[in-house]
Amino acid sequence: MTVFFSTGLDDYTGANKVTGNYLLGLASKGVPVVLLYPQASFTTDDGDNGQPRLSEKMSAAGIETVAVSVGLSAAGVRSVGGVLARLSLAKTPVVVGTFQADTKILAPLCALLGVPFVYFGHNIGRFSGPAWARSLKHLLWRMVLKSGVGAVIAVSDEVRGYLHHACGYPLKDIRVITNAVGFEIDGGERPAAGGSDLRRELGVGESTFVIVNVGRLDEQKDQLALIEAAAVMAREGVDFYVVLVGGISPTAMAESMAYRDQLVSRVEKLGLSGRVCFLGWRNDVGALLRQADVYAHSARWEGFPLAVLEAWAVGRPVVTTDCFQLPVDVGLGACEWGARVAVGEVSGLAAQLARIARVDAGERQRMGEASRVFSRRHFDLKQRVEELRHCLAGILAARGVHHVV
């Protein structure tokens, strides 16, 4: 089989990082893979701070990439025609879409060609715009899922439930394959001997407790809760610095810009300007995570957050909200790798971060090692790649196509 992964953006965060991992993982097993990516560049008003493109990363690794321009222009028609021709020439093609935008376009085209299209759901959908626009977008999305998509994979039981209850896709037909990470995290080189590059960039001493958060500036990620928790820690005399890594969401720029302004205003009002910084989009997230004392994830809801998985994989203590379901039962409060707190519970988030700030370096190292063990035990990328390969082969077998790679 030949696996085509399509994506609605050409950034290298979240779902696209996962897509890149699967492309490389399948290719390593001898499966021909192709990336279909949007020709429009990934830009926001705050720039990208050197953020790499998924297409660039895959091209550098020897993966075939095809730019897709969608529209009523002559260029758009030629581009779509080229994609259809590429699919027609492929040996036993199957297309995996990871965003609603590309799925809405490619799923119907694949249906016309008789090519199986698989939607890989990474998040719980939240539509932007006025109420009438959100309702229309939701209706169109339900129509695409029911008529154009041949199979559905979800990264968690929460996403599976959303795709069933809100979108009407049969629950029994949704396979769950959770996110995972390899153990060479992008940009993950360790800081040079003699000091920390991040601390020098921030201008803070080695004794300052550095808290890193990764994610687009968006109400879903709820960086506001982390800022409020920081204010509580400041009143308690904790020496800390909060690093917010991520920028404007390109899919909801107006809402994201307004939220960023709200965050900046709140930081100033709380007197935290010297304790909180906005780094924007970065291409060295792995290195930043390795130099953190703790990773804090304050999101309200998630599919299955890659940033948390990366923090575990590089051996950092983690404090996360219960915004996603873990593969094992971990209750609220302190745990071996850090802590889980209820969504929106600022006091609990502050208390757990302050607790980890006050333990000695040896105890934090022990938590970090527990994170690494937890990651290897439950989120092995090689295992997930094999699950995906078998799942796609099963979809083709159901269509009478056997003996695929």
Q: What is the per-residue DSSP string for 5-55?
A: EE-S----SHHHHHHHHHHHHHHHTT--EEEEEESS----TT--TTPPPHH
* Average pLDDT of the segment spanning 310-318: 95
* Average pLDDT of the segment spanning 277-305: 92
Q: What is the pLDDT of residues 142-189, one digit of tens each?
A: 887 777 788 899 999 889 998 898 888 888 889 999 998 875 555 444
Say what the pLDDT of residue 193 is. 37
Strands (E), 82-182: 93-97, 117-121, 151-154, 174-176
Report if residue 191 sits inside a domain: no
Residues 148 and 206 in one domain: no
Report if residue 58 sits inside a domain: yes
Distance from C-alpha of 59 to C-alpha of 72, rounded to nearest angstrom: 28
Domain of 143? 2-180+380-397
190 pLDDT above the threshold of 50: no
Query: What secondary structure does DSSP assign to 229-251, as a single string?
Result: HHHHHHHTT--EEEEEEB-B-TT
What's the total number of domains in the chain? Answer: 2
Say what the pLDDT of residue 284 is. 85
Residues 202 and 134 in one domain: no
Residues 305 and 358 in one domain: yes
Residues 145 and 214 in one domain: no
303 CB-contact burial (10 Å; exposed 0-12 / middle 13-18 / buried 19+): buried
User: Phi and psi (nearest 5°) for 96?
Assistant: -115, 115
Q: What is the pLDDT of residues 321-379, one digit of tens each?
A: 999 888 888 888 999 999 999 999 999 999 999 999 999 999 999 999 999 999 999 99
Q: What is the pLDDT of residues 29-80, one digit of tens each?
A: 999 999 998 876 555 555 544 567 899 999 999 999 988 876 545 665 677 7
Say what the pLDDT of residue 401 is. 67
Amino acid at 381: L
Q: What is the pLDDT of residues 222-256, one digit of tens each?
A: 999 999 999 999 999 999 999 999 988 776 778 88
Q: What is the pLDDT of residues 102-139, one digit of tens each?
A: 788 888 888 888 888 999 988 887 676 788 877 887 78
Residues 89 and 207 in one domain: no
Residues 6+ apart with CB under 8 A from 32: 1, 2, 3, 90, 91, 405
Report if residue 68 sits inside a domain: yes
Distance from C-alpha of 232 to C-alpha of 240, rounded to nearest angstrom: 11
Q: Which residue has the tokens 């997230």?
A: 285
Distance from C-alpha of 314 to C-alpha of 287, rounded to nearest angstrom: 9
Residues 222 and 341 in one domain: yes
Report if residue 402 sits inside a domain: no
Residues 385 and 347 in one domain: no
- The answer to whether the beta carbons of residues 4 and 115 sit under 8 Å apart is no
pTM: 0.86
Distance of CA 296 to CAs 23, 242, 316, Å? Answer: 29, 9, 10
Query: What CATH number corresponds to the domain at position 364?
Result: 3.40.50.2000
Residues 17 and 80 in one domain: yes
How big is the CA angle at 199 (ends 273 and 216), to the nearest 5 degrees? 60
Amino acid at 161: G
CA 308 and chain centroid, separation: 9
Residues 176 and 256 in one domain: no
Report if residue 185 sits inside a domain: no
Residues 155 and 139 in one domain: yes
Report if residue 117 sits inside a domain: yes
Report if residue 373 sits inside a domain: yes
Say what the pLDDT of residue 70 is. 60
Amino acid at 28: S
* Average pLDDT of the segment spanning 300-311: 92
Report if residue 228 sits inside a domain: yes
For strands 209-214 and 117-121, give the pairing. unpaired
How big is the CA angle at 319 (ends 314 and 320), to the nearest 5 degrees? 105
321 CB-contact burial (10 Å; exposed 0-12 / middle 13-18 / buried 19+): buried
Distance of CA 265 to CAs 215, 270, 346, 386, Å? Answer: 19, 9, 18, 47
Residues 85 and 101 in one domain: yes
304 pLDDT above the threshold of 80: yes
**What pLDDT band is residue 268 in, cutting at 50, 70 and 90?**
very high
Amino acid at 119: Y
CB atoms within 10 A of CB 374: 22
* Average pLDDT of the segment spanning 202-219: 93
**What pLDDT band is residue 212 in, cutting at 50, 70 and 90?**
very high
Say what the pLDDT of residue 142 is. 81
* Average pLDDT of the segment spanning 80-96: 82
Residues 121 and 139 in one domain: yes
41 CB-contact burial (10 Å; exposed 0-12 / middle 13-18 / buried 19+): exposed
Say what the pLDDT of residue 128 is. 67
